[in-house]
Structure 1
Amino acid sequence: MYWIKFGIVPLIMFVMLHSTALAVDTYSTVKLNGLTLSEWPVTVSSSSGKLLLSDSPEMVPDDGIMYQDTVSGDIRLFFHHVNATAEGKKIVVLLENNGEKTAHITVTKNGLGGPSLDYLQVGKEVQQEYLEGGNLYLIEVPCKESKSLISSLDHSVVETNMLVNGMYDLIIDHPVTIKVMMMPLDADAKEFAAQAKVLPADPGEHRLRGTFEGKDRLLVGKQTYDSKKSGTVALTLADNYLDQYVRGIDATDGTPTLNYGNYGIVYKIYLPSTSGDEISYYLNPRGGDYAGWLGLEYRHQDVHTIPTPADAMSFGANKISESAYLGTYESGKSLWMTFSPPGASNLPIKLILAPEKIK
């Protein structure tokens, strides 16, 4: 994704780990360059429903529909749009039910950021809220009716150059049409949707919109990591070489599309290790500015989220050796990580395993 930064304020977030982790005081940033490290092999599988990605046009030049598709089942919606007009607008998500039965939409997880001029902060906020969960709610849409997915956006003014970003997991029992739209402040969403046109997508690799099969990705180590034998290694995420971008269809015109960066894809990562040692984990951005969160579950008991980075709003813009410390844990224990590319951040990124904490 591409953006202009407006007054990003450093954010200091010292977060303490639970007692099950080892030798952790703060999640500080250290000097560790993942580019020089050996790649740790993993098996990759995708599953669990569809991803609707609405990020094109990213800089929305006029009123209209940025993306729409008619779907049911296990769905994730990821939208990321900036008001590029000269006046305030609304950016809303409308659920239309054209069927003969009431549609029930269960929102199982979600994160919402903006409207704001601080794009990195918005993307980071979405990741934190989504990974922390706990926002389940139900929407009922009667037949031939429509309702907003996010009621707060119905009354939210998106000023010029402000970004709105959201990530929503939905279970839909009957087909509904999901429409992501930008519209005048005084417009009624249902009336506007009935006559609104689909806006042209951004060209080339910036055509970040479409419907993609397999919204979740599971990565499991092919080998058991032994810190004494393997040393410091890295796992590359979202580079389209070692970790392929997901392919889909733009439902507005049937065009094949590629999700550059895998935005909206949720990764579950499990890297088995031998017992008897400690392993330190780091996240190293390789594409430029990066600001996100990461979920971690240790021994099925300690579940928490980690800001990446914790000692600033973002990192990776000028120093490719910057790495966010994620903690040190006993090897041989169950350790699962949850990762998703944050809106406004650049990919790829490397997850680093090291036999000791880097200072």
Structure 2
Amino acid sequence: MNLLRQVSVTVAVTLAVSFVFTPQLTLAKSGFPADIDMLNLTELPVTMTDQGGKLLLSDSPEMVEDDGIMYQDTVSGDIRLFFHHVNATKELKKIVLLLVNDSDIATDVVVNQYGLGGPGLDYLAVGKTAEMNYLKQAESELIEVPAKGTALLEPILNKTVVPPDALVNGIYDFQSKIPIKVVIMMLPVDADPATFAATASVLPNTNHRLRGTFSGRDRILVPSQVYNSAQDGVMAITLADNKLDTYVNGIDATDGSKTLNYGNYGVMYKLFLPTAFEKNYSLYLNPRGGAYAGGMNVKYRHQEEYTIGTPADKLFFGNKKDNEVAHLGDYAGGQSLWLTFSPPGASSLPVKIVLAPATKNK
């Protein structure tokens, strides 16, 4: 697992553009009118349920100008950490994830899924790499945290130099049976993390206030009606717009204030699509907020499972045309289909999942 983590750090940009499955295209090329009004598509109604444990979000300050702690909280059970920070100093730094066990008994922390991107100066590439690595990773690791001691959640980061203006972005799912303090911090390259954390101050929050602890790290979405491409035509599911799909509320554990996760970063969306047997259908992703670079896991017919880039043939899309889409595939109606993804670091939200009649039979 450590070898995989080393690869994710050293070749972040390469990984971000190397997954090519289906082409990015405009609506005109996909077989229906290019002038379709994407903003006013009929919405496929969905039921949303939040579940899956705690989400720790560390994205404020995003531009870290001083050594210190960006976020920390003591949690137990199922935990996801999403962190997204830039070294905004003029010096070389490191960004480290420390686990602190204040109890009198040792504990094992199980890391069951993770993705790491950066450090890098192309922020969209770093965010896409972190998400693609997370979606494709399937190896677990046990980290022993001694009583009254510490351990590194990601040892590679303690050896990774972060240059000025470089971004590091990561997504880590792990479990702890007892309360464990998770500390995300920036510090000098030669500093010992445990020694530094013992006296470090929490850095001030920014106006964006993108940090906190949130309940429900996964959002399960199930449409309340079966999609029939022959009858329903083109429909959409809008995500992370804070209207049809609201942002999650939480608490900033560093000061007790309420916080809102603008964009739902770190929330893993798991969308099930019930469809009619009569006709095949096509799926697309349409970014509505600007530049978007991410990935998506597809599980089809209970057995076919793969990860695609969104978009697949280049790093990002969505900054030029309102009707720009990434093709997520053509599927047979009536078959089980799950889509899993999360708002990628550095990308803009909201997005639309667009369902349409297939342009050709399978």
- Specify the TM-score bucket, using the shorter chain as the normaliser: over 0.9
Kept in 1: contact 2:19–2:308 (CA 8 A): no
Kept in 2: contact 1:88–1:159 (CA 8 A): yes
- Aligned counterparts of 1:27 and 1:229: Cα–Cα separation in 2: 27
Structure 2: any 5+ residue segments left out of the alignment?
1-12, 28-33
Q: CA deviation at 1:247?
A: 0.1
Q: Which has the higher helix share?
A: 2
Give TM-score, length-normalised by structure 1.
0.92
Name which of 337, 346, 349 aligns with 1:344.
346
Task: Tell me the amino acid that sits aligned with residue 152 of structure 2.
Answer: S
The answer for the alignment partner of 1:321 in structure 2 is 323
Alignment of 1:258-269 (within 5 A): 258-269=260-271
Kept in 1: contact 2:228–2:278 (CA 8 A): no
Indicate the percent of aligned positions where both proteins have the same amino acid.
Answer: 55
The answer for the alignment partner of 1:245 in structure 2 is 247
The answer for the alignment partner of 2:280 in structure 1 is 278
Matched, 1:30 2:32: no
SS at structure 1 position matched to 2:134: helix
Q: CA deviation at 1:357?
A: 3.1
The answer for the alignment partner of 1:295 in structure 2 is 297
Q: CA deviation at 1:356?
A: 2.1
1:295-354 residue CA offsets vs partner (Å, 9 max, x unmatched)? 110011100011000121000112111000010010010001102000000000000000
Q: CA deviation at 1:11?
A: 3.8
- Aligned counterparts of 2:122 and 2:350: Cα–Cα separation in 1: 21
Give TM-score, length-normalised by structure 2.
0.91
Matched residues, number:
339
The answer for the alignment partner of 1:312 in structure 2 is 314
Structure 1: any 5+ residue segments left out of the alignment?
1-7, 16-25
Q: CA deviation at 1:175?
A: 1.1
- Aligned counterparts of 2:153 and 2:272: Cα–Cα separation in 1: 33
Kept in 1: contact 2:112–2:139 (CA 8 A): yes
Kept in 2: contact 1:102–1:174 (CA 8 A): no
The answer for the alignment partner of 1:96 in structure 2 is 100
The answer for the alignment partner of 2:194 in structure 1 is 190
The answer for the alignment partner of 2:46 in structure 1 is 42
SS at structure 1 position matched to 2:156: helix
The answer for the alignment partner of 1:160 in structure 2 is 164
Q: RMSD between aligned alpha carbons?
A: 1.4
The answer for the alignment partner of 1:126 in structure 2 is 130
Name which of 86, 111, 120 aligns with 1:116.
120
Name which of 223, 227, 230 aligns with 1:228.
230
1:124-174 residue CA offsets vs partner (Å, 9 max, x unmatched)? 011111111213101010111101110000010001000000000011111
- Aligned counterparts of 2:144 and 2:292: Cα–Cα separation in 1: 37
SS at structure 2 position matched to 1:192: helix
The answer for the alignment partner of 1:22 in structure 2 is none
- Aligned counterparts of 2:17 and 2:136: Cα–Cα separation in 1: 19
Q: CA deviation at 1:13?
A: 4.4
Name which of 169, 174, 179 aligns with 1:170.
174
Matched, 1:67 2:71: yes
